[in-house]
Structure 1
Amino acid sequence: MIYIDGLVIPVKAGTDSAGYARFAEAIAPIFKDHGATRIVEGWADDVPDGKVTDFRRAVQAADDETVVLSWIEWPDKATRDAGMALVREDPRMVPAGAAMPIDGARMIFGGFQAVLDV
């Protein structure tokens, strides 16, 4: 069954969905080259404030920032573990002089074993 990396990512002020999509499109092939089968990026559209917590508070998003929900699908955990190690070492991950539209320090991420895939 597939293995999933789930991410909630704060997007810096001044970045619109098209700008974020360009960034994501530039790095998606790196994950695919190292074994990922699918990458999905979701721009916040209906993300309400919660009573206890919510997506925005989870990443400490400022009022002028937004959040992205992203997931990366892998065939299995072994492929993900090997692929993510290669992604971290891939020089294409941080193009020289490229401004990152996200704050990686506040990003939440984790790996998940699929229990249902319908």
Structure 2
Amino acid sequence: MNYVEGFVLAVPKANKDKFIAHAQQGDAVFMEHGALRIVECWQDDVPEGKQTDFFRSVGCKDDEAVVFSWIEWPDKATRDTGMASVMDAAKMDPRLDPNTNPMPFDGGRMIFGGFTPVVELGS
């Protein structure tokens, strides 16, 4: 089983195309540093909860959509090395430079973490 890094963020609905362009550029760098697969998902059928939900987890506003994303790595060691390499590359790679590829969302409200799969079905 692979190692998975997951992300949830709020993106202004008006920035959907900017988000896609930003992700296409930045995600390529993660692939170059060992990621096997990256999936970026735009909110479609996300219910509001009574106690908690995706919207509240990232302080989503009425004009924002929830984005759920993940990066699959071969293992945690590759992820740790790959993320360190990406952070080093960020200093020189224009695809990760906030001046040339600014985040079209508030990164301070993003939640993320690394996960070890415990059940996996299908391909």
Judge same fold: TM > 0.5, yes or no: yes
Length-normalised TM-score, structure 1:
0.91
When residues 36 and 47 of structure 1 are mapped into structure 2, their CA distance, relative to the original with a 3 A threshold, is same
Identical aligned pairs, as a percentage?
Answer: 51
Alignment of 1:1-118 (within 5 A): 1-16=1-16, 18-91=17-90, 92=93, 93-118=96-121
Length-normalised TM-score, structure 2:
0.88
User: Structure 1 stretches (4+) deviating beyond 3 angstroms?
Assistant: none
1:62-107 deviation per Cα after TM superposition (whole angstroms, max 9, x unaligned) = 1111110000000000000111111122133125343321211000
When residues 97 and 19 of structure 1 are mapped into structure 2, their CA distance, relative to the original with a 3 A threshold, is closer
Q: Which consecutive residues of structure 2, in runs of 5 or more, have no partner in the other structure? A: none
Aligned CA RMSD, in angstroms, stands at: 1.3
Q: Which consecutive residues of structure 1, in runs of 5 or more, have no partner in the other structure? A: none
CA contact (8 A) 2:22 2:102 kept: no
CA contact (8 A) 1:12 1:103 kept: no
